[in-house]
Structure formats: structure tokens, C-alpha cells
Amino acid sequence: MKKFPQISEPQVALVWADFKTGHILDNNFVVVTKENQEPYNIFDDVKAAVEYAKLNIIERGNLECVINGADEELLHYITPENVKNF
């Protein structure tokens, strides 16, 4: 998998995974198996990332994601089980 991207505050990086298997997914929701697949979605701020995450998790139902800050700190872990809390 690619290294964590260089971003600066208030930017965040979102990474998808299949909720049932934990497999990392790329930006097209395909399991990452090749080096050229991009697993990181970059957003200008955490609010935009959370809204995008909620939309996709509610729509697809089988996704989970982590949202990390510029220092790679975990900001949010969103799943089908807790999405309504965001």
C-alpha cells in the first residue's frame, strides 16, 4: 500500500475498508492489490470527509473508514454501526 500522503492541516486523509473483511479499498471501492491503486482520499477538512463517509456508508452499507489528520493521528473511525452518531 502507498505511504501516507503529505498533507497539511486542516486537510485529512480518508481510507476505506470492507466492513466484513477489513480489506483496504481504493478510491473506486475495489480491494487494493496493486501498488498503483490509490487508497487515500484527501479532503480539505474533517467535516467534508465525514459527510462523504456518511453518504457512502449509508448508501453501500458494507464500508468502514478511518479519517486521519496531517500527523497521521486517527480522528474518526466510521462504520455502519456508528455512522448515525456523526
Collapsed DSSP state (helix, strand, coil) of residue 9: coil
On whether residue 80 sits in a domain, the answer given is: yes
- Is 64:19 a contact under the CB 8 Å cutoff? yes
* Domain-embedded: residue 81: yes
Domain-embedded: residue 26: yes
What is the number of domains present in the chain?
A: 1
Q: Shortest CA distance to 74 belongs to which of 1, 14, 3?
A: 14
Residue 1 lies in a domain: no
Residue 82 pLDDT > 90: yes
Question: pTM for the complete prediction?
Answer: 0.94
pLDDT at 20: 96
Kindly list the distances between the CA atom of residue 80 and the CA atoms of 10, 24, 32, in Å, as whole numbers in the listed order.
26, 16, 21
Q: What is the pLDDT of residues 13-25, one digit of tens each?
A: 999 999 999 999 9
Residues of the domain holding 29: 12-85
Confidence of residue 1 (pLDDT cuts 50, 70, 90): confident
Give 78's strand partners. Answer: 65
pLDDT digits (tens, 9 = 90+) for 36-68: 999 999 999 999 999 999 999 999 999 999 999
Cell of 61: 452499507
Cβ proximity of 22 and 32 under 8 Å: no
